[in-house]
Amino acid sequence: MEPAKTTWVRPSKTDKNDNVIDAILKKRGITRKELSTPYSGDPSLIHDMDKAVKIILDAVKNEDKTAIYGDYDVDGITSTAIMMKTLRATEPKRTPPSESKFIPYIPMRDDGYGLKEKGVKELADAGVKLIITVDNGTHADEAIKMAQSMGIKVIVTDHHQVREEAHVGEPEALVNPTHPDSKGEYSNLSGAGVAYMLSGELFEKGLPVGLKRRTELKIELAAIAALGTVADMMPLLGVNRDIANLGLPHFQDVLGLNKLVEVTRSGGFDDGAQDRQVDTEEIYFQLGPRINAAGRMGDPGFALLLLMTEDETKAKETARFLTNQNIWRKDATKQCVYLLEREVYSMADDKKAIVLWDEDIPKGIAGLVASRFAEKYGVTTWIGCQDKKTGEITGSARAAASGVSCLELLNAADNYLVSGGGHEAAAGFSVKKDDAEAFRELIEKTAEELMHGKPVVKPLEIDLMIDRLLTDEEMQEIRELGPWGKGLESPIIASCGLTILNWATKPKSGFTTMELTDGKRVIQAHAFEPPHPAPKVGQKIDLAYKIGTRDSLQAASLEISLEKELVSADLELG
């Protein structure tokens, strides 16, 4: 199977009366007003929101022991932190965790995704009377029934798609904006976004927290919700854009996040510029992976500790620990990609999905490996870890730009799933050993049918093509229109006829820098892998790039004219 080729999708001719920003927005079909107008909605329109608020307020009043049942990824961790901080604010500030009525429960990745009978039993033994799930629980029918049989009430807060083919549990309240009876434009919320909406409704409806503490807490919660929303790749439009705008300026107000930013930047990223506001790029490539590394490589509780602690020394030590875990995660991902690369390469070129599993793939790495292959080969990819004792396969799926939705494939294979859930871009799944081959065949067959014979390519949507480099003022205006992210990606600009003055690649990392000129000004571009074929100094190229938050361009792809043939060289975006 050959890697998919990047295909530039060029924009239609630009109106000469449009400036750079107007041309980009016109192509996107959005206006400046849409980007700047806050979303005005009513979170109580989310399914069962009012019911959940009443149950929680009663539990607080009656001092019922309450567990927040989270998940091991960044969205689950941030969701847990939001609800824990909200509810613990009702207790005296110095209440030791061991004496609190509110306890977190985050399963290890080996325990599997979502509310499980094992966790319910442990919480029942601890005297819990109310379980609030965050970022999970919609289809946890058996675990919900078990909890209720033990006298435990269950509130599910989740954002994963309600799948028609799978049975939905019947908790005391199901707060999920994708539920058919939900109203308002909340269906693109992350798990952290749903928890943030619930927290806001609790404050509105009389959660007993003093005004000063509530004001401080709302700032912290906005920052944590922004982290979860951006890192979980939610579209940055509507209410998600509001969450990002509210939270990104306040990372320094959450002690653990502040220390994580300090440790990250002092390690070489951004040259230690500690005062700059955190942006989406930094969350995608630096902060989010560090939070995720805890659950991928060991105990996700360390990531929750980072967000909850009020001890400066502990916050800094935990930030350093997560950074080291992330280095280990990177190395493990490279090894797993290498392990499966030969098998992928030997596949037929007409495959429209990749489905692979191996006993040596750690569960925490499966999604990252799937992402690498989906990006490289342009097809939706399913990577699983096979249990050495039971043979059961548990893994993750990632969609490709020109591929098929993970959710469509998940729904098609529902009869083979032990468990599963997700959305269009990503999914988690478990399949029994005896069903594995049939599962693979069905995924591949369904993907081929849904592709309708379309070729596998990596489309690169160009927003603007110009015969020069952007000016500093134009680049700054693009930055100020942010936050850019999933669903509102940073514009891709193609500057044509540039000359390469110099370029260099670090042998070990592959990190590449290029010095370019349009004849009037010189600028640096960077990429996380070298171009193939390699350009020569003095050569003319067309370069597609994004605007970095610092003074350089993030190279995406370049085209070089070699012996009258236009050759595309793919570059991994930094």
Amino acid, res. 240? N
Are 265 and 67 within 8 A, CB to CB? no
Residue of 163, 166, 159 lying closest to 187 (CA atoms): 159
Count how many residues are written for the chain.
574
The residues, ordered by sequence, that sit 6+ positions from 223 with a Cβ below 8 Å of its Cβ are: 247, 248, 250, 251, 253, 254, 257
Tokens for 403, please give them: 């591929």
Residue 3: asked if its preceding bond is cis (omega within 30°), the reply is no
Residue of 292, 239, 235, 165 lying closest to 424 (CA atoms): 235
Are 140 and 115 within 8 A, CB to CB? yes
Residue of 190, 167, 171, 160 lying closest to 48 (CA atoms): 171
State how far the Cα of 280 lies from the Cα of 231, in Å rounded to an integer.
Answer: 8
C-alpha distance from residue 377 to each of 352, 360, 401, 511 (Å): 9, 22, 10, 21
The residues, ordered by sequence, that sit 6+ positions from 38 with a Cβ below 8 Å of its Cβ are: 242, 245
The three-class DSSP label of residue 174 is: strand
Widest distance between CA atoms in the chain: 79
C-alpha distance from residue 169 to each of 146, 198, 554 (Å): 11, 20, 45
The residues, ordered by sequence, that sit 6+ positions from 485 with a Cβ below 8 Å of its Cβ are: 230, 233, 235, 236, 244, 280, 284
Using a 10 angstrom Cβ sphere, with 0-12 exposed, 13-18 middle and 19 or more buried, the burial of residue 6 is: buried
pLDDT in tens, the chain (574 residues): 888 888 888 887 666 667 888 889 888 888 888 888 888 889 999 999 999 999 999 999 999 999 999 999 999 999 999 999 999 999 998 899 889 999 999 999 888 888 999 999 999 999 999 999 999 999 899 999 999 999 999 999 999 888 665 566 789 999 999 999 999 899 999 999 999 999 999 999 999 999 999 999 999 999 999 999 999 989 998 999 999 999 999 999 999 999 999 999 987 544 445 678 899 989 998 999 999 999 999 999 999 999 999 999 999 999 999 999 999 999 999 999 999 999 998 998 889 999 999 999 998 899 999 999 999 999 999 999 999 999 999 999 999 977 789 999 999 999 999 988 877 888 989 999 999 999 999 999 999 999 888 888 888 889 999 999 888 889 888 888 889 888 888 898 988 889 989 888 877 667 788 888 999 988 888 777 777 667 788 888 888 888 866 555 666 666 554 333 334 444 443 3
State how far the Cα of 319 lies from the Cα of 257, in Å rounded to an integer.
Answer: 8
The three-class DSSP label of residue 323 is: helix
pTM over 0.95: no
The three-class DSSP label of residue 80 is: helix
Residue of 259, 254, 143, 239 lying closest to 192 (CA atoms): 239
